[in-house]
Structure 1
Amino acid sequence: MLSETELLYTLALQRVKNLGDISAKKLLRTVGSAEGIFKEKKHSLLKIDGIGSLKLKGLSIEEQLPAAQAELQFIKQNNIVYTYFLDPKYPEKLKHCLDGPIILFENGNIDLKNRKIISIVGTRKVTTYGTSFCQKLIETLAPLNPVIVSGFAYGVDITAHKAAMDCGLQTVACLAHGLNQIYPKSHKKHVTSVEENGGFLTEFWSDDPFDRNNFLKRNRIIAGVSEATIVIESAEKGGSLVTADIANSYNRDVFAVPGRATDTQSQGCNNLIKSNQAHLLNSAEDLIYMLGWELEEPQPLSQQKQLFVEFTPEEQKVFDYLNTKQKELLDTIALECGLPTFKVATLLLNLELKGVVRPLPGKLFEVI
């Protein structure tokens, strides 16, 4: 944790208008501290690769001190938790994003360490189908205990937060403003529940205005803290598509729920899928498989695939066929092996339990 003095200087550095998080991190890693940056000669800072005079404009502690002192006072008076980008508690996945904030502020009981984390975003004008899909998705994922991240806005965002809390999951709301206010105001009734089941995360100060650019800037945190971003519904243009684009730039998985070509609120998702910017998401099973969550925990040695496995004659027949194909549909396996589909389904389950076959989305099976 930063000392109070270093926190003050870090806040002042964050306030330098033209600097940005990428350049601020470069300065901090080179000089070693925010206080040192303000006390260093500017001609020395200009020798750092990528640091120009425009970025250093406003790098004056006298200019930034009043606002930084006021924000420090707000943090202390309201017991705001802050996390510096070099702290162990800073969101691990966000550490790998070059433009991640140098400092984050939070309320609640957020725990993003060693957790399955997904972001769910979408239109504010969510349809009944979108709401139902979101709720079902989270209910199915609940046994895996993921953290559900979103932006606390109308529509898909608040649906995801509420569904997570209904399932006893941690949920994190990333805000585009300071922790002294809530937008939209109608969501104030959810604040206590979110804080008890996760919390609020932001890089913005208590005096930052409601600005469209802040909402777009906030989206990189939603994308950055998670391993995958899911777009439930989106029109042809929208903030959730910006989040998806950012997630792709971070080399994170992006999923989109398809819809009818005539549905306005599905156009954005359909375009993401069509342009190969998102995996098609039909169910929670698709997500689980693509992220490899079912394979995350190593199996005990006794449950791992054995070198010599005993099969019944019918199991051997199904296994030999699948071994030649590596991957095949259930109905095709049944047809080619001359066995009823229900019988093959049972045989495949037995082979799965023996550790030689695994199911894939869409009634596909493959040899391990």
Structure 2
Amino acid sequence: MELYFWLALIKVPGVGPVLRRRLLDHLGSPQAIFEAKEEELRAVEGISSRVVRAIKATDPLTVGERIYREAQGLGFRVFTLKDPQYPPNLREIFDSPPVLFIKGEILPQDSVAVAVVGSRRCSTYGRDFARRLSGSLAEVGVTIVSGMARGIDTEAHRGALGAGGRTLITASLALEQGRCVFAVPGLAGSWVSQGTHRLIREGAKLVERPEDILEEILPQLQAPVGKPQGGLSEQELRVLEALKEGPRHIDEITRILMKPVPETLNLLTRMELKGLLRQLPERLYTLQ
């Protein structure tokens, strides 16, 4: 079983991502690696005699089956790169993990995801902003990725769950993987803000509100993922009625709805994702 060979390969001491890639390039598959003769293994660049002995000493079917049974017993599913369930965005990166241990669900809407990470020793401002930002994004169907560390990561997780959204416990090297990078500015001169300010200087998009992120990922959100379309709510109908008379400023719409500005922004964002309206410069909104 091919899965067993993959599981056995990732357990061989001394076989990391670089050497594993060289072995696969040279021999073709995990099964071929374990079935190769010692001289074939020694021909691989960077391999040591110790690793060659470790590979030859491994019974891949026994080791692989044991790992698979243990994972199943703990409630994990196991996917390899060739499995159709393997996340397509993860498959795109250069050093995709050959094996994933999955607990929970992988849903199609998780392809539209935003990672929220930051300092463990965060400020009150940073903590509150992370929770509000993550909650707003989750409400329109964006999956929030957090590292689950203390501080900003935790608030991102709480914000997403509080909005009824999904959160994935993982983080990655976004720049190396060609992902869009955003940064929330902090207090000038504060050591806590040095990291995000450096990212902005290096080209990260400055974020002051959820819309700054949604503008970038809007093409991926043809409709609010994970949310049924159904009929329009009373508030949505009121907004559409108001916009029939022409573009309206966010402040006008807020007064019409008699709602706080954050709630109004969330509503307008959801309506924009549904294709009901669009945002103009100067925070004006008009019918689509």
State the TM-score, normalizing by the size of structure 1.
0.55
Cα distance in 1 for residues equivalent to 2:179 and 2:133: 19
**Contact 1:19–1:56 (CA<8 Å) still a contact in 2?**
no
The CA deviation at 1:84 is 0.6
**Contact 1:91–1:113 (CA<8 Å) still a contact in 2?**
no
Within 5 Å, give how 1:22-61 maps onto structure 2.
22-25=18-21, 27-28=23-24, 31-44=27-40, 51-54=44-47, 57-59=50-52, 60-61=54-55
Does the residue aligned with 2:150 lie in a helix, a strand or coil? coil
The CA deviation at 1:361 is 6.7
| Residue 180 (structure 1) aligns with | none
Cα distance in 1 for residues equivalent to 2:22 and 2:83: 16
> 5+ unaligned residues in a row in structure 1: which ranges?
175-221, 224-245, 298-314, 319-329, 331-341, 343-351
Q: 1:250 aligns with which of 174, 177, 198?
A: 177
**RMSD (CA atoms):** 3.6
Deviations 1:325-366 (A, max 9, x none): xxxxx9xxxxxxxxxxx8xxxxxxxxx9xx9x963676499x
Does the residue aligned with 2:181 lie in a helix, a strand or coil? strand
Does the residue aligned with 2:78 lie in a helix, a strand or coil? strand
**Contact 1:121–1:150 (CA<8 Å) still a contact in 2?**
yes
Cα distance in 2 for residues equivalent to 1:18 and 1:10: 15
The CA deviation at 1:165 is 1.1
Give me the identity figure in percent: 31
The CA deviation at 1:43 is 4.0
* Structure-2 change in CA distance of 1:76 and 1:159 (3 Å): same
| Residue 306 (structure 1) aligns with | none
Cα distance in 2 for residues equivalent to 1:292 and 1:153: 28
Q: 2:208 aligns with which of 279, 282, 293?
A: 282
| Residue 203 (structure 1) aligns with | none
Partner letter of residue 359 of structure 1?
A: Q
Cα distance in 2 for residues equivalent to 1:58 and 1:38: 12
**Contact 2:182–2:205 (CA<8 Å) still a contact in 1?**
yes
Does the residue aligned with 1:54 lie in a helix, a strand or coil? coil
Within 5 Å, give how 1:78-117 maps onto structure 2.
78-111=74-107, 115-117=111-113
Within 5 Å, give how 1:298-337 maps onto structure 2.
none
Does the residue aligned with 1:97 lie in a helix, a strand or coil? coil
* Structure-2 change in CA distance of 1:17 and 1:96 (3 Å): farther
State the TM-score, normalizing by the size of structure 2.
0.69
The CA deviation at 1:282 is 0.8
Within 5 Å, give how 1:220-231 maps onto structure 2.
222-223=171-172
Partner letter of residue 269 of structure 1?
A: T
| Residue 191 (structure 2) aligns with | 264
* Structure-2 change in CA distance of 1:54 and 1:32 (3 Å): closer
Cα distance in 1 for residues equivalent to 2:142 and 2:9: 34
**Contact 2:119–2:192 (CA<8 Å) still a contact in 1?**
yes
| Residue 310 (structure 1) aligns with | none
Q: 1:11 aligns with which of 4, 7, 12?
A: 7
Cα distance in 2 for residues equivalent to 1:292 and 1:104: 29
| Residue 164 (structure 2) aligns with | 168
Cα distance in 2 for residues equivalent to 1:273 and 1:128: 21
* Structure-2 change in CA distance of 1:63 and 1:127 (3 Å): farther
| Residue 131 (structure 2) aligns with | 135
Cα distance in 2 for residues equivalent to 1:68 and 1:294: 38
Matched residues, number: 240
Matched, 1:156 2:152: yes
Partner letter of residue 279 of structure 2?
A: P
Cα distance in 2 for residues equivalent to 1:260 and 1:41: 61
Does the residue aligned with 1:10 lie in a helix, a strand or coil? helix
